[in-house]
Amino acid sequence: MLLEIPAILDAATLTRLRTVIDAAEWIDGNATSGHQSALAKRNRQLPEESDAAREAGAMVLEALGRSPLFFAAALPLKIFPPLFNSYEGGEAFDVHVDNAVRIQRGSEFRLRSDLSATLFLENPEAYDGGELTIETQFGAQTVKLPAGHMLLYPSSSLHRVEPVTHGRRVASFFWIQSMVRDTEARRTLFELDTAIQTVAQDRGQDDAAVIQLTGVYHNLLRRWADS
């Protein structure tokens, strides 16, 4: 499932975040690459242990915590500390798949990458190219979102960042381990949650059918979730 989550960052937070990361020192993006990715990646990245990455990452995590849509879709158990990358001058990230397990350098923190997220931090009219292209069962899907908007997609999917031929593409990226490991079970819960919210808007939260459906949702979550 590919899901756009709009306005994760509001304008004020986006400005504060860009002020922090734009003033920082960027390094070769292969500092955090696995073997396969190192052959495909050409970009710049904030060092993950830098003060700027930690400060900006905290802003992203705080914003995610305020997003009901993100929680409903991801059912997050763990979130890898957000990283930040930059593409310009023809830089790109050729087709690859994300590592199944991500380990934070210098710590014991690790997670299984169920979902990947790209949070766009530059408006699309400011650069040419740079689309995130994801291979799905319905063919390649190409995504280029406004600044502050985020795409959530399966970490198991083949994907790439197209060459940036003009301007600069800046984004945050990270991975999520979901409480619900199975992709189809997680999709079912998200669709059920969405339907419950729609019915509740029409009938009210205290409607008998809404209460019953909410019980079904939580019983399925209880059955499928690891915590």
Give per-residue pLDDT as tens, 21-34. Answer: 999 999 998 765 55
Residue 90 domain boundaries: 3-178
Please write the tens of the pLDDT for every residue from 147-192.
999 999 999 999 999 999 999 999 999 999 999 999 999 999 999 9
Question: What integer is the mean pLDDT of 46-69?
Answer: 97
Average per-residue pLDDT for the chain: 95
Q: Are residues 143 and 123 in the same domain?
A: yes
Q: pTM for the complete prediction?
A: 0.94
Spatial separation of the C-alpha atoms in residues 14 and 213, rounded to whole Å: 37
Looking at residue 32, what is its pLDDT? 58
Does residue 78 come out as left (phi exceeding 0), alpha (psi in the -120 to 50 range) or beta?
A: beta
Please write the tens of the pLDDT for every residue from 120-150.
999 999 999 999 999 998 999 999 999 999 9
Spatial separation of the C-alpha atoms in residues 32 and 9, rounded to whole Å: 25
Q: Are residues 131 and 192 in the same domain?
A: no
**Cβ–Cβ < 8 Å for 33, 83:** no
Looking at residue 154, what is its pLDDT? 97
Q: Are residues 31 and 141 in the same domain?
A: yes
Q: What is the CA radius of gyration of the chain?
A: 18
**Residues contacting residue 140 through CB under 8 Å, at least 6 positions apart:** 133, 134
Looking at residue 130, what is its pLDDT? 98
In the structure, how many helices (H) and strands (E) does the chain have?
6, 16
Q: Are residues 115 and 209 in the same domain?
A: no
